[in-house]
Chain A
């Protein structure tokens, strides 16, 4: 009888452990790839192409499409910025409700290479921001995204940047709404935005 009670207790413990394990696994799986999550309000203070300090607070009232990238990136960044440009074109009159931001994760080099010419080449609506290292790291932390420098002797200047390639949507009240994972077609981003106006 005692043994049976112990057996039962072990079974209960085992099942509980399985549930907890599955629960945490499910929760961590969502990290990084989650398209929606608990509400938070990312903030940033970064200099724009002309050196003026811009903050997240000044964009309240608009949807923000935020991409963290670097201008020396030949594949991922142009592809995403092209999608953003297409979305801005297709929004028509609603374009004024959306502010696309390109946040440089390689600010020193990007300022040297010219940020304004880069963003304008994709779409004049895209605003390029390049802060200090500390400001950039703070912005990335606030958006809960990762970037890092990878030394690579074969890359221009001896390094390349690894980064979260998602496109982040921030609501008019500053709240993080979702991310569009890398490769989301412009048409899908467009229809998501249009459903929110």
Chain B
């Protein structure tokens, strides 16, 4: 019975724990981290997040790492002359005083070599490496395949 109650408490508290975490490192605030469910583990997952630089020094996101994928990379969807391509982004600028979004149709993390399929309701950690601020880890919520933006009460989209 004790175990049952413990399990129930854990299950009930789980969604609140994983939902829309905000972390900070130095002048950077990282929030609204989300991903989409994948169909199997053979196709890449995606990682979206919002970064705000409240400081007076420009920074840049230079890499991501996660136990969920063997080869996570930063990419940018570029639509030029009616053709979409997805070049590798060496770094994503996070200028002083600005807010940068990794969001559908723009910058995104591409999670290749998934260790397991991402299922709606799951969450996984992603460590972001910034040129100046260093490393910080955020929990990423896996939303439905058809989600269009983060599922947070305060999300501005």
Q: Is B112 an interface residue (CB 8 A)?
A: yes
Q: Is B27 an interface residue (CB 8 A)?
A: no
Q: A72-B44, A113-B43 are in contact. Are A182 and B83 (CB under 8 A)?
A: no
A114 engages B146 (CB within 8 Å) = no
Q: Is A121 an interface residue (CB 8 A)?
A: yes
Q: Is B49 an interface residue (CB 8 A)?
A: no
Q: Once the chains are docked, how many angstroms separate the CA of A156 from the CA of B69? A: 12
Q: Is A58 an interface residue (CB 8 A)?
A: no
Q: Once the chains are docked, how many angstroms separate the CA of A121 from the CA of B36? A: 12
A156 engages B104 (CB within 8 Å) = no
Q: Is A178 an interface residue (CB 8 A)?
A: no
B146 engages A163 (CB within 8 Å) = no
B44 engages A85 (CB within 8 Å) = no
Q: Report A32-87 residues with CB < 8 Å from chain B CB.
A: 32-33, 71-76, 78-79, 82, 85-86
Interface centre among A76, A117, A152 (most CB of B within 10 A): A76
B84 engages A165 (CB within 8 Å) = yes
The residues of A that contact B32 with a CB separation of less than 8 Å are: none
Q: A72-B44, A74-B46 are in contact. Are A162 and B146 (CB under 8 A)?
A: no
The residues of A that contact B86 with a CB separation of less than 8 Å are: 73, 75-76, 160, 162
Q: Report B62-82 residues with CB < 8 Å from chain A CB.
A: 71, 73, 75, 77, 79, 81-82
A165 engages B39 (CB within 8 Å) = no
Q: Give 1 or 0 for each of B106-118: 1 = CB within 8 Å of chain A CB.
A: 0010111100000
Q: Give 1 or 0 for each of A10-45: 1 = CB within 8 Å of chain B CB.
A: 000000000000000000000011000000000000
A114 engages B40 (CB within 8 Å) = yes
Q: A82-B145, A113-B43 are in contact. Are A32 and B105 (CB under 8 A)?
A: no
A150 engages B88 (CB within 8 Å) = no
B39 engages A182 (CB within 8 Å) = no
Q: Is A164 an interface residue (CB 8 A)?
A: yes
Contact of A85 (CB < 8 Å), options: B46, B84, B146: B146
Q: Once the chains are docked, how many angstroms separate the CA of A12 from the CA of B82? A: 36
Q: Give 1 or 0 for each of A121-146: 1 = CB within 8 Å of chain B CB.
A: 11000000000000000000000001
The residues of A that contact B148 with a CB separation of less than 8 Å are: 79, 82
> Across the two chains, which residue of chain B brings its CB closest to A123?
B146
The residues of B that contact A86 with a CB separation of less than 8 Å are: 146
A33 engages B43 (CB within 8 Å) = no
B105 engages A79 (CB within 8 Å) = yes
Q: Is B42 an interface residue (CB 8 A)?
A: yes
A82 engages B146 (CB within 8 Å) = yes
The residues of A that contact B29 with a CB separation of less than 8 Å are: none
B84 engages A121 (CB within 8 Å) = no
A147 → chain B closest CB, angstroms: 8
Q: Is A166 an interface residue (CB 8 A)?
A: yes
B142 → chain A closest CB, angstroms: 13
Q: Is B85 an interface residue (CB 8 A)?
A: yes
User: What are the 4 closest A-B residue pairs judged by CB atoms, nearest first?
Assistant: A32-B82, A162-B85, A165-B84, A82-B146
**Known interface pairs A74-B46, A114-B39, A182-B105; 6 further A-B residue pairs with C-beta atoms within 8 A, sorted by A's residue number:** A75-B86, A117-B40, A146-B82, A154-B73, A160-B86, A164-B82
8 contacts between A and B (CB under 8 A): A74-B43, A74-B45, A75-B46, A75-B104, A86-B146, A118-B43, A121-B37, A162-B86
